[in-house]
Amino acid sequence: MSWTPDPGPFLSTHTSFGALDPEQLSRLVDQLPILLWSTDANLRVTCLRGGGLALMGQATTAKADLHVGDRLEDPVVAQQAVDAHTAALAGTATSYEIVYRGRTFSAQVEPLRDPDGRIIGVVGVGFDITTRRAAEVALRQSEERLQLVSLATNDALWDWDLVSGAVWWGKGFETVFWYESGELAAHYETWQSLIHPDDRQRAIAAVRAAIDGGSTSWSAEYRFRRRDGSYADVYDRGYVIHDPVTQKPMRMVGSMMDITHRKRAEEQLHASRAALRLLAARHQDVREDERTRIAREIHDSLGQALTALKLQLASAQAAAASTAPAPPLGARLRETAQMVDDLVKSVRRIATELRPPILDQLGLAAAVEWLAQDFARRTGIACTAKLHPIEGTISAEHATALFRIVQEALTNVSRHAAASAADIELGIDGDCVVLQINDDGRGITEKVASGPGSLGILGMRERAAALGGVLEVVPRAGGGTRVAAWFPRPRDPMRS
CATH code for position 233 = 3.30.450.20
Task: Indicate if 486 and 370 belong to the same structural domain.
Answer: yes
Number of domains in the chain: 4
Q: What are phi and psi of 236, to 5 degrees?
A: -110, 135
Residue 333 has pLDDT above 80, yes or no: no
Q: What is the pTM of this model?
A: 0.41
* C-alpha to C-alpha distance for 483 and 327, rounded to whole angstroms: 60
Average pLDDT of span 340-359? 72
Residue 53 has pLDDT above 90, yes or no: no
Sign of the dihedral defined by the CA atoms of residues 43, 26, 57, 97, in that order: negative
* C-alpha to C-alpha distance for 367 and 361, rounded to whole angstroms: 9
Q: What is the 3-state secondary structure (H, E, C) of 264-311?
A: HHHHHHHHHHHHHHHHHHHHHHHHHHHHHHHHHHHHHHHHHHHHHHHH
- pLDDT tens for residues 221-280? 999 999 999 999 999 999 998 888 888 999 898 899 999 988 888 888 888 877 776 776
* Residue at 405 is within a domain: yes
Task: Indicate if 108 and 7 belong to the same structural domain.
Answer: yes
Residues 6+ apart with CB under 8 A from 229: none
pLDDT at 16: 46
* Residue at 146 is within a domain: no
Stronger pLDDT, 297 or 386, i.e. the higher one: 386
CATH number of the structural domain spanning residue 382: 3.30.565.10
- 396-412 vs 455-466: helix axis angle to the nearest 10? 160
pLDDT at 299: 65
Task: Indicate if 472 and 343 belong to the same structural domain.
Answer: no
User: Contact, 201 vs 228, CB < 8 A?
Assistant: no
* C-alpha to C-alpha distance for 421 and 414, rounded to whole angstroms: 10
- The residue from 309, 331, 354 where one domain ends is 354
Task: Indicate if 270 and 246 belong to the same structural domain.
Answer: no
- The residue from 320, 354, 388 where one domain ends is 354
* C-alpha to C-alpha distance for 292 and 298, rounded to whole angstroms: 10
* Residue at 161 is within a domain: yes
Task: Indicate if 120 and 202 belong to the same structural domain.
Answer: no
- pLDDT tens for residues 60-82? 444 557 888 888 878 888 899 99
- The residue from 354, 379, 398 where one domain ends is 354
Domain that includes residue 119, residue range: 2-128
Average pLDDT of span 19-43? 77
Task: Annotate 382-437 with DSSP letters as a single string.
Answer: EEEEEE---TTSS-HHHHHHHHHHHHHHHHHIIIII--SEEEEEEEEETTEEEEEE
pLDDT at 489: 78
Task: Indicate if 373 and 329 belong to the same structural domain.
Answer: no
Stronger pLDDT, 303 or 448, i.e. the higher one: 448
Angle ∠(62,65,71) on CA atoms, nearest 5: 65
Task: Indicate if 185 and 195 belong to the same structural domain.
Answer: yes
Beta bridge partners of 121: 40, 112
pLDDT at 55: 62
* Residue at 424 is within a domain: yes
Q: How many CB atoms lie within 10 A of CB 300?
A: 11
Task: Indicate if 122 and 222 belong to the same structural domain.
Answer: no
SS3 167: strand
Residue 106 has pLDDT above 60, yes or no: yes
* Residue at 142 is within a domain: no
* Residue at 139 is within a domain: no
Residues 6+ apart with CB under 8 A from 1: 64
Residue 3 has pLDDT above 70, yes or no: no
Q: How confident is the model at residue 182 (pLDDT cuts 50, 70, 90)?
A: confident
User: Contact, 401 vs 359, CB < 8 A?
Assistant: no
* Residue at 86 is within a domain: yes
* C-alpha to C-alpha distance for 490 and 496, rounded to whole angstroms: 8
Average pLDDT of span 433-460? 83
Stronger pLDDT, 128 or 276, i.e. the higher one: 128
Residue 56 has pLDDT above 60, yes or no: yes
* C-alpha to C-alpha distance for 62 and 220, rounded to whole angstroms: 66
Stronger pLDDT, 5 or 449, i.e. the higher one: 449
* Residue at 135 is within a domain: no
Task: Indicate if 241 and 273 belong to the same structural domain.
Answer: no
Residue 334 has pLDDT above 80, yes or no: no
pLDDT at 328: 67
pLDDT at 149: 62
pLDDT at 326: 57
* C-alpha to C-alpha distance for 48 and 60, rounded to whole angstroms: 7
pLDDT at 478: 82
Task: Indicate if 347 and 385 belong to the same structural domain.
Answer: no
How high does pLDDT run on average in the chain? 81
- Write down the H helix ranges in 322-395: 326-354, 357-361, 364-379
User: Contact, 47 vs 120, CB < 8 A?
Assistant: no
Least confident of 19-33, 171-185, 392-406: 19-33
Can you give the length of the chain in residues? Answer: 496
Average pLDDT of span 348-366? 75
Residue 455 has pLDDT above 80, yes or no: no
Stronger pLDDT, 167 or 477, i.e. the higher one: 167
What is the amino acid identity at position 147? Q
* C-alpha to C-alpha distance for 140 and 159, rounded to whole angstroms: 15
Sign of the dihedral defined by the CA atoms of residues 14, 16, 21, 25, in that order: negative
